[in-house]
Chains A and B, each alone.
Chain A
Amino acid sequence: MPMAFIELANPSRFLDWSGRLLPFLWVATGVALGIGLYLSFFVAPPDYQQGETVRIMYIHVPSAWLAMFGYALMASAALGTLVWRHPLADVAARSMAPIGAAFTFLALVTGSLWGKPMWGTYWVWDARLTSVLVLFLMYLGLIALWRAVDDPGRAARLVAVLILVGAVNLPIIKFSVDWWNTLHQPASVLRIGGPTIDASMLWPLLIMAVAMMLFFLALTTMAMRNEILRRRLRTLQLTAAATAG
């Protein structure tokens, strides 16, 4: 596995390999999404308390999982930048940030739309919602810092430090419903003792989660390819400007 990271450190090789992988990723995403949506709407039963609105769960929970998963991947990439100086680590982190931010936004919005019929309010400042909002702000802050520094190499290291400092938010989000009295419900899937959610709802949820994850990976791969091309473009433009003078 480590050898794979080293071999892919060459951007050209990564472009080549990712170009071949991408169609499969998209097909897999489409298939999983199709199955997931079908199960979510036509097979999964309505909740005995919430009725049909429970179907929002099948898009809200995977978005929230990916919001955190995206940041966790960025934190790993940040280690890759600072500790191992992997050339593509920053490319990966920078590509993932807008995508992770989008999923965090979706988690907040779908959660809000679920909260109104379920709790009676679009928003509440409890620990879970607040910490996810903070995660969204952190994504935006990281994107802003990347854009503020011109030199990609220096930007990579600076942002990597900030990503790692911000990683403290992830356990807070995960355990916020256990540590504090929150309006948001406690964990029912990823918990010690196994899921408390019924299988008829668990399977659509897991398949939607897989579909979203594949979507995330497909978008990230495309974005990484763009980022590599962007850096080549920048180098060429600098060369052109230098030789034109």
Chain B
Amino acid sequence: MIGALAAITGQTARLSFRSGGGAFVGLVFFLAVVTIVPFGLGPDLNLLSRIGPAVLWIGALLAALLGIDRLFHEDHEDGSLDLLLLSGLPLELVVLARALGHWLATGLPLVIAAPLFGLLLGIPPLALAAVTLTLLAGTPALTLIGAIGAALMTALGRGGLLVAILVLPFTIPVLIFGVSAAAATIIGPAPFMPPFLILCAFTLVSAVVAPIAGAAALRASLA
């Protein structure tokens, strides 16, 4: 069973890396957001470095939700979802495997790119490390929450934007604690660990809730 799940994860990641898959689009979108902000706010590096962690987090959030609506769409279209249901693999673990594959292709590049893009915003080195760490801990939660929305939208042909709107409220706490931890090194003597640990908790909880909710939504789409 682990083999089958690993295969699903790998396949999802590989498909995302292909031209229509959205991995690189997400990265480019992330860069676009980071680049646009200084144009809007002005090049004052003092200001940019203070809000830098927040800008990186917002960019990562939007980029993570960008391509997620298609997560289960092809499966539904070509019937492989029915096969997965019949295969005896727990649907919950299939959802988890798909989300993990998607994160490897879209979330992990964001985490790797974050310190580089953070330099564009003048973020100091310690804060760069903090932001990267928080993104590493938090982007899986964003992908998992997005997967719930994707599962809900599976049966519909349209609706990428609707998915993003539906799951956005649930991603807000992740954003709040991610920025809180990342900015702790810049703004005042605020502690890093408490918000960071809560962020990790969010990822762990969503790793449980998202597969359950996602599987329920997929079953409802098929019925």
Residues of A within 8 A of B (CB): 82, 130, 134, 137-138, 141, 144-145, 148-149, 153-154, 157-158, 160-162, 164-166, 169
Q: Which of A157, A160, A165 contacts B170 (CB 8 A)?
A: A165
Selected A-B contacts with CB under 8 Å, 15 pairs: A82-B216, A137-B168, A141-B169, A145-B152, A145-B166, A148-B153, A148-B158, A153-B223, A154-B155, A154-B220, A158-B152, A160-B220, A161-B220, A162-B217, A164-B213
Bitwise interface map of B from 175 to 217 toward A, beta carbon under 8 Å scored 1, else 0: 0000000000000000000000000000000000100010011
Residues B166 and A141 in contact, CB atoms below 8 Å apart: yes
Q: Which of B159, B209, B216, B221 contacts A148 (CB 8 A)?
A: B159
Which of A82, A130, A144, A158 has the most C-beta atoms of chain B within 10 angstroms of its own C-beta?
A158
Shortest distance from the beta carbon of A116 to any chain B beta carbon, whole Å: 25
Q: How far is the CA of A154 from the CA of B219 in the complex (A)?
A: 10
Q: Which residue of B lies closest to A150 (CB)?
A: B156
Q: Using Cβ atoms and an 8 Å threshold, which residues of chain B touch A165?
A: 148, 170, 209, 213
Q: Which residue of A lies closest to B214 (CB)?
A: A161
Q: Using Cβ atoms and an 8 Å threshold, which residues of chain B touch A148?
A: 153, 156, 158-159, 162
Q: How far is the CA of A157 from the CA of B148 in the complex (A)?
A: 14
Residues B169 and A161 in contact, CB atoms below 8 Å apart: no
Known: A148-B156, A154-B220, A161-B216. 12 other contacts (CB 8 A): A82-B216, A138-B169, A141-B165, A145-B152, A148-B159, A149-B155, A153-B223, A157-B220, A157-B223, A160-B220, A162-B152, A166-B169
Q: Using Cβ atoms and an 8 Å threshold, which residues of chain B touch A157?
A: 216, 220, 223
4 shortest A-B CB distances, which residue pairs? A157-B220, A141-B166, A134-B169, A161-B217
Contact A144-B223, Cβ < 8 Å, known A134-B172, A158-B217: no
Q: Using Cβ atoms and an 8 Å threshold, which residues of chain B touch A130?
A: 172
Shortest distance from the beta carbon of B221 to any chain A beta carbon, whole Å: 7
| Interface residues on chain B, size class | 20 to 34
Residues of B within 8 A of A (CB): 148, 152-153, 155-156, 158-159, 162, 165-166, 168-170, 172, 209, 213, 216-217, 220-221, 223
Q: Which residue of A lies closest to B167 (CB)?
A: A141
Q: Which residue of A lies closest to B215 (CB)?
A: A161
Q: How far is the CA of A160 from the CA of B159 in the complex (A)?
A: 18
Q: How far is the CA of A96 from the CA of B13 in the complex (A)?
A: 41
Q: Using Cβ atoms and an 8 Å threshold, which residues of chain B touch A144?
A: 162, 165-166
Q: Which of A137, A158, A160 contacts B221 (CB 8 A)?
A: A158
Residues A161 and B162 in contact, CB atoms below 8 Å apart: no
Shortest distance from the beta carbon of A168 to any chain B beta carbon, whole Å: 8
Q: Which residue of A lies closest to B222 (CB)?
A: A154
Q: How far is the CA of A164 from the CA of B155 in the complex (A)?
A: 19
Q: How far is the CA of A134 from the CA of B166 in the complex (A)?
A: 11
Residues B152 and A161 in contact, CB atoms below 8 Å apart: yes
